[in-house]
Amino acid sequence: MFDSFLLESIINGLLLGGVLALLALGLNLVFGVIDVVWICYAELVMVGMYAIFFLYVYYEVPLAGAIAAAVLGVALLGMILHRFVIEPVLGTAPINQLLVTGGVLFFLQAAATLAFGIEFRNIGIRMPVVEFGDMFFSFARILAFATALVGVLLLWLFLTRTYLGTAIRAISQDREIMPLMGVDPRRIYLITSAIGGGMAGVAASLLVLQYDVHPAIGLSFGPITFMVCVMGGLGNMLGGFVAAFIFAQFISVGGYLFQIEWGYVIAFCFFIAMMFVRPKGLFSR
Amino acid sequence: MLEVRNVSAGYGSFRALFDVSLEVRAGEAVGVIGPNGAGKTTLLRVISKIIAPTSGSVVMEGQDLSRVPAHRVVEMGIAHVPEHRRLFPRLTVEENLRMGAFHPEARRRHAERLDFVYELFPRMKERRLQMAGTMSGGEQQMCAIGRGLMSGPKLLLLDEPSAGLAPVIVQQVFSLVRRIRAEGYTVLIVEQNIQQVLQVVDRAYLLEVGTIKQSGPSAELLASPEIRRAYLGL
């Protein structure tokens, strides 16, 4: 018998997968190119969410303007993070890079608590619910899914069709000879960090429509983002993309078949099992 | 065109070059020959600024390279085809060639130079969408030289283009070097394959343990008793 609730949860899983894919994309790009894991990635998203909230609610900037400013702001933050936190320890033991970006995570969380308090803040836009037959979908999620797909497509075109994008892929394969190509590696790293930050900003603009922002918001989707990246193979953008949709299906359909909380439990069990079966990621060679 | 003046260089406390001077004039093909570990690769790495010399200077067309950042050297007309080819293995042939034309002036002439490289290496055109790392050694060498030519250089630095290739392919590579010369490029080539390289270049320098031991026209070096005894086994 046709189960429209199951179909609804599958489609909702698909929509959630788009957001997870977008979140994983920036993290994967930075790791794949610079070989550094931004532990504080989800906190960059939080900063973007706060930026949109304050610009829109307190300064009454139109939403589109607030989003554009937040994306640019977080991109700039990504460059600052690279230039002043990561660059000084680049080339030292990898644990140092984890420690400094981990430090930034706590710094941003604490700074947000000090500056904005622990209240949950909502930009107060009620998105309509889309009805299709007897299924219901949140418009915010549909928007997020569409934006994520467009973002992925644009990034892919940039990486494959432009000189700069080709250089970004090349530098991860052989850094030392980049100057022979006329490429300044430091500049490529800064640009990559800006794009990674910009992706976090885009993710922030989609999440702020669905969730309240508070200083610990990073904790609610940071770990999932990391798991998606690891399951797809850290740095493997295609792997991360596919893993995001698999993960989202477990959460959504698992939540429908059992209970919402069980969706996450099943997804994490699947993740742990995959770490034994394919420890280097879905598409490891 | 290129002058290397009293260059010393090394890695950490290891000294690879001692007071090396050489000169390449426009239109010439010049060889640097010598055994493994003589400092030949280090010399090219100093010229293209992958490493900095501890003393001495490199001058390209009257301009001292010490004040030029490493990634600007290629804009001055020096293309370095590195040892072991160093292609980007997971980029396609065409993307590797695109990387060679990264600097702004080269971008403007990208289409024209791509045609030139494909005409020089029809094989590369056939393989343009293949991952560079999956090609044979000889094909990779062609791609690496093609990538160097994409920048529109005045001077092409070739580091051991025959290394690791089958004898038949080595022949092809050297005839290619002749062809590139005929196109008007100035070439500085580093080789261990002394017999063969001396057939291609006008002049050569013999580098041994970081110092230049001998230099002169190819015919003279081929006839030199020391070189015949030590390197040609005659």
B82 CA to chain A: closest CA distance, Å?
8
Phi and psi at residue B142, to the nearest 5°: -60, -45
CA dist A166 and B151 (Å) reads 16
DSSP state of A259: -
DSSP for A86-131 reads IGGGTTS-HHHHHHHHHHHHHHHHHHHHHHH-S--B-------EEE
Q: What confidence tier does A1 reach under pLDDT thresholds 50, 70, 90?
A: low
pTM: 0.90
Per CB-CB distance under 8 Å, the chain A contacts of B71 are: 178-179, 181-185
> Tell me: the pLDDT tens digits for A75-100?
999 999 999 999 999 989 889 999 99
Per CB-CB distance under 8 Å, the chain B contacts of A178 are: 71
| Topology adopted by domain A4-277 | ABC transporter involved in vitamin B12 uptake, BtuC (1.10.3470)
Q: What confidence tier does A134 reach under pLDDT thresholds 50, 70, 90?
A: confident
Residue of A170, A184, A185 lying closest to B99 (CB–CB): A170
CA dist B60 and B37 (Å) reads 26
Q: Which residue of chain B is at minimal alpha-carbon distance from A187?
A: B71
8 Å CB contact of B102 and A163: yes
CA dist B16 and B36 (Å) reads 12
As for the ipTM of the complex, it is 0.90
Give burial (CB, 10 Å; 0-12/13-18/19+) of B67: exposed
B29 alpha carbon, distance to own chain's centre: 11
CB atoms under 10 Å from CB of B195, counted, come to 15
pLDDT values of chain B reduced to their tens digit, one per residue, 234 residues: 999 999 999 888 888 999 999 999 999 999 999 988 889 999 999 999 999 999 999 999 999 999 999 999 999 999 999 999 999 999 999 999 999 999 998 999 999 999 999 999 999 999 999 999 999 999 999 999 999 999 999 999 999 998 888 888 899 889 989 999 888 899 999 998 888 899 999 999 999 999 999 999 999 998 888 888 888 776
CA dist A174 and B90 (Å) reads 10
B223 CA to chain A: closest CA distance, Å?
36
CA dist B209 and A129 (Å) reads 77
Residue of A166, A176, A183 lying closest to B50 (CB–CB): A176
Phi and psi at residue A14, to the nearest 5°: -60, -45
Residue of B73, B90, B106 lying closest to A173 (CB–CB): B90
Interface check for B129 against chain A (CB to CB < 8 A): the answer is: no
Residue ranges per structural domain of chain A = 4-277
Residue tagged 């030590």 (tokens): B230
